[in-house]
C-alpha cells in the first residue's frame, strides 16, 4: 500500500516539500506555512491531463525550469502570480493568448500600479521563455506594453527619520528601520538575512548568487550602527532570520506594513493634538447607520449597544483622520531616501548603483529623476561640471 504523502524538509534547499503521485511540490520555507500549503494541496482535486500546447502546460514547464535554475524566492514570485493567471484561463492555448487576456486579468484585481506591472511581467516572461525554448513558434503577447508603475518620489530627511524613530517603542522594529536607513538594502534582503550571510570582519552581508536578485552575488555594506545591530542580532539568532519581532517571529512584508500603519496613525494623532483637530458629533452620527449592528462573541451573534456603536464610529473616523494627516512610509521609502541622499552628498552614481545592488547602473537615472527638480542641487552640479 502506497504511503500517504506528508511534508518533508529538503536540507539542500532549506525549504519544505511534499511528493504527491511521484511529483515533488514546493510548499514553503517555514514549517507552519508549509503545513498550511500542504493541506491546501491535498484538498485540491486531482490535476487533469492538459494539452501540451495549453497555457497551463507551458506555465508548468516554466515553473519547473525556474525552480531548477533560479532562487527559491524567484520561483515563489512567479508561482504565486502565474497560478492565479492559469486559474482564470484554464482552457486557453498558447496560440490563443492575446494581450487583452492579460489586461483584463490585471484590471479585474484591485492592485497598485507596481503590482499590475509585475503581474503582467510574470506572464510575458513565461511566454517569452516558451518561445526561447522552442515550445512555441511565436510570442503572441511579445508586443504588449506593460502598465506603468508609479515612481517612488517620497524622500524623508534625517530629521523626519529621527522623528519617526521616536514613535517606535519596539526595539526589533527600530533595528529593522535603522539598518535599512543606514545601508540602503532592499526590504527582501533585510527580511531574509541570516547569520550565515554575515561577514562582521568586513562589515557586510553577502548573499550567494542562488539567493540574490539579478543572478549575481549581492553584498550589502554596513555602517557602524548597522554593523552593531547585526552583531547583536547574530548573537541572539545564530540560526534563522536575524530580524524578528518581540515574539521571536521573523518580520514579514505584511508585518512591516502593519508596523508602518501604526506609525502613520501615531504621527497623525500627534498632528491632531497639535492642530486641535477631532471628529465632529455630526460625522459620528452620520456613520452610525452604516455600521454592522451585531458582532460575534464566543461563537454567538450579539447585538451591539448604542454606546458600543458610538465608540466604534468615533474610533474609525479618528483613524481615517490620522491617516489623512500623515504620510504612509515603507521600507522602500528608506532605501529610496538613502540613494537620494547619497547622490546629493556627492557619491558618484556608479558607486551608489553598486552599493544598492543594481545590475544596470542606468536604473538610477530612471528611478531617481526627481533629483532634477531640486534646483539647488542641480545648480551645484552644473558649477562642478563647469570647473
| 176 and 80 both lie in a single domain | no
| 49 and 83 both lie in a single domain | yes
**Helix, strand, or coil (residue 28):** strand
Q: Is 122 exposed, middle or buried (0-12, 13-18, 19+ CB in 10 A)?
A: buried
Residue pLDDT, tens place only, 270-317 = 999 999 999 999 999 999 999 998 888 877 888 999 999 999 999 999
Out of 229-238, 255-264, 292-301, which region has the weakest mean confidence (pLDDT)?
292-301
353: CATH: 1.10.443.10
| 387 alpha carbon, distance to own chain's centre | 43
CA–CA distance from 333 to each of 157, 300, 340 (Å)? 11, 43, 10
In a domain, 239, yes or no: yes
- Give pLDDT, residue 10: 84
| 212 and 91 both lie in a single domain | no
| 92 and 211 both lie in a single domain | no
Domain that holds residue 359: 153-276+329-387
| 129 and 158 both lie in a single domain | no
In a domain, 102, yes or no: yes
Where a domain ends, among 79, 101, 133?
A: 133
- Give pLDDT, residue 51: 47
CA–CA distance from 178 to each of 13, 52, 121 (Å)? 30, 51, 32
Based on the structure, what is the number of domains in the chain?
2
| 47 and 174 both lie in a single domain | no
In a domain, 258, yes or no: yes
Residue pLDDT, tens place only, 332-381 = 999 989 988 888 888 888 888 888 888 776 666 666 555 555 666 666 65
Q: From CA 342, how far away is CA 352, in angstroms rounded?
A: 7
pLDDT band at 1 (very low <50, low <70, confident <90, very high): very low
In a domain, 108, yes or no: yes
pLDDT band at 154 (very low <50, low <70, confident <90, very high): confident
| 118 and 172 both lie in a single domain | no
In a domain, 301, yes or no: no
In a domain, 146, yes or no: no
- Give pLDDT, residue 99: 93
| 261 and 379 both lie in a single domain | yes
* Cross-strand partners of 199: 204
| 166 and 270 both lie in a single domain | yes
| 209 and 339 both lie in a single domain | yes
User: Which residues have C-beta within 8 Å of that of residue 195, sequence separation ≥ 6?
Assistant: 234, 237, 238, 239, 242
In a domain, 302, yes or no: no
Where a domain ends, among 133, 166, 188?
A: 133
In a domain, 348, yes or no: yes
pLDDT band at 267 (very low <50, low <70, confident <90, very high): very high
Length of the chain, in residues:
387
Q: Please give the torsion angle defined by the CA atoms of residues 379, 151, 148 and 326, in that order, rounded to the nearest 10 degrees.
A: -140
Q: From CA 72, how far away is CA 17, in angstroms rounded?
A: 12
| 264 and 381 both lie in a single domain | yes
Using alpha carbons, select from 269, 271, 263, 255 the residue that is nearest to residue 329.
263
| 187 and 114 both lie in a single domain | no
Where a domain ends, among 74, 99, 133?
A: 133
Q: What is the pTM of this model?
A: 0.65
Amino acid at each position: 500500500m502506497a504511503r500517504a504523502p506528508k511534508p518533508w524538509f529538503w536540507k539542500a534547499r532549506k525549504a519544505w516539500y511534499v511528493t504527491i503521485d511521484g511529483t515533488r511540490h514546493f510548499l514553503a520555507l517555514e514549517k507552519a506555512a508549509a503545513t498550511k500549503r500542504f493541506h491546501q494541496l491535498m484538498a485540491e482535486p486531482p490535476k487533469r491531463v492538459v494539452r501540451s500546447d495549453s497555457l497551463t502546460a507551458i506555465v508548468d514547464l516554466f515553473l519547473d525550469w525556474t525552480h531548477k535554475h533560479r532562487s527559491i524566492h524567484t520561483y515563489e514570485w512567479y508561482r504565486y502570480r502565474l497560478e492565479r493567471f492559469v486559474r482564470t484561463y484554464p482552457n486557453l492555448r498558447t496560440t490563443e493568448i492575446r494581450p487583452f487576456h492579460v489586461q483584463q486579468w490585471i484590471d479585474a484585481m484591485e492592485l497598485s500600479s507596481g503590482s499590475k506591472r509585475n503581474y503582467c511581467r510574470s506572464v510575458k516572461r513565461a511566454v517569452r521563455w516558451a518561445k526561447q525554448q522552442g515550445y512555441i513558434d511565436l510570442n503572441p503577447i511579445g508586443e504588449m506594453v506593460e502598465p506603468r508603475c508609479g515612481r517612488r518620489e517620497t524622500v524623508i530627511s534625517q530629521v523626519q527619520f529621527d522623528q519617526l524613530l521616536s514613535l517606535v517603542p519596539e526595539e526589533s522594529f527600530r533595528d529593522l528601520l535603522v539598518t535599512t536607513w543606514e545601508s540602503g538594502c532592499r526590504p527582501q534582503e533585510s527580511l531574509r538575512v541570516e547569520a550565515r550571510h554575515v561577514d562582521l570582519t568586513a562589515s557586510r552581508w553577502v548573499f550567494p548568487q542562488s539567493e540574490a536578485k539579478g543572478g549575481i552575488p549581492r553584498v550589502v555594506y554596513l555602517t557602524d550602527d548597522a554593523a552593531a545591530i547585526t552583531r547583536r542580532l547574530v548573537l541572539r539568532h545564530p540560526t534563522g532570520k536575524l530580524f524578528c519581532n518581540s515574539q521571536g517571529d521573523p518580520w514579514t512584508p505584511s508585518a512591516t506594513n502593519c508596523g508602518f500603519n501604526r506609525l502613520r496613525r501615531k504621527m497623525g494623532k500627534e498632528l491632531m493634538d497639535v492642530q486641535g483637530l477631532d471628529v465632529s458629533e455630526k460625522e459620528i452620527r452620520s456613520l452610525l447607520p452604516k455600521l454592522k449592528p451585531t458582532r460575534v462573541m464566543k461563537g454567538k451573534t450579539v447585538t451591539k449597544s448604542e454606546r458600543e456603536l458610538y465608540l466604534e464610529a468615533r474610533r474609525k473616523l479618528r483613524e481615517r483622520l490620522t491617516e489623512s494627516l500623515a504620510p504612509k512610509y515603507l521600507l522602500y521609502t528608506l532605501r529610496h531616501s538613502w540613494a537620494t541622499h547619497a547622490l546629493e552628498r556627492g557619491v558618484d552614481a556608479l558607486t551608489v548603483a553598486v552599493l544598492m545592488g543594481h545590475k544596470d547602473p542606468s536604473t538610477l537615472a530612471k528611478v531617481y529623476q526627481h533629483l532634477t527638480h531640486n534646483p539647488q542641487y542641480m545648480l551645484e552640479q552644473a558649477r562642478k561640471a563647469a570647473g
